[in-house]
Amino acid sequence: MILRIQDEAFRLVFERGYAGTKVEEIAEAADVSPSTVYRTFGTKEGVFLWDELEVPTLEGLEGELAHHSPAEAVAAIVEQIGSVELHVPVAEMRRRARFLYTEPALQCALGEAFGRFERAVTRMLGRRGTVTPTEARILAAAGIAAMREALEGWALSESATDLADVTQAAAASLRRVLRG
């Protein structure tokens, strides 16, 4: 249901624009009630910002932390983003990402969403007990910055750059910075 609602929301927004797309129309297109949309996503912005990569990324981080240092685990999840299987073709995901980075009504909310994700990564790193709270926060911030740079660069690039190549390069840069 979540993906269906989001898919319909993007279909409508690409036809009508962000301001011209109402939650009631999204709900009708997805064959759910507006209250279901609000209950699931909280806001209209939330429909577009919900990220199917968030859960696999956090699960991947948990797995990486079992076998690697926190710094390497964070770099590994940056790299892995490019290989997560998505429910839509890559070209459609790029189109959606480009929309998120260029729609003025969503730019602030996108930054807030990355902030929430950064705090989730910080908490996960902190629970391991192998880094101080400050180190956990710095590692999370660096990892999220690398993700943001990779995703925004990929979304806004005019070249046919592969997402996996972009996230691998971002992870390599992150590793170099973390090693000093």
CATH number reported for the structural domain that contains residue 21 in this entry: 1.10.10.60
Count how many domains the chain has: 2
Tokens of 93: 């995901």
Contact 64, 57 (CB under 8 A): no
Least confident of 48-57, 62-71, 90-99, 129-138: 48-57
Give which of 159, 164, 41, 152 is closest to 107, Cα–Cα: 152
Task: Indicate the average pLDDT of the chain.
Answer: 92
pTM to 2 decimal places? 0.87
Query: Do residues 68 and 41 share a domain?
Result: no
pLDDT (0 to 100) of residue 111: 93
- The boundaries of the domain holding residue 7 are 2-48
Query: Do residues 69 and 146 share a domain?
Result: yes
Amino acid identity at 28 = E
Question: What Rg, from alpha-carbon coordinates, does the chain have?
Answer: 17
Give which of 152, 16, 23, 147 is closest to 74, Cα–Cα: 147
Query: Do residues 146 and 66 share a domain?
Result: yes
Contact 30, 5 (CB under 8 A): yes
CA distance linking residue 140 with residue 123, whole number of Å: 9
Tell me how far apart the terminal alpha carbons of the chain are, to the nearest angstrom: 45
Query: Do residues 113 and 84 share a domain?
Result: yes
Tokens of 79: 């790299």
Can you state the angle between helices 90-102 and 104-127, rounded to 10 degrees?
Answer: 110
pLDDT tens digit string along 10-42? 999 999 999 999 999 999 999 999 999 999 999
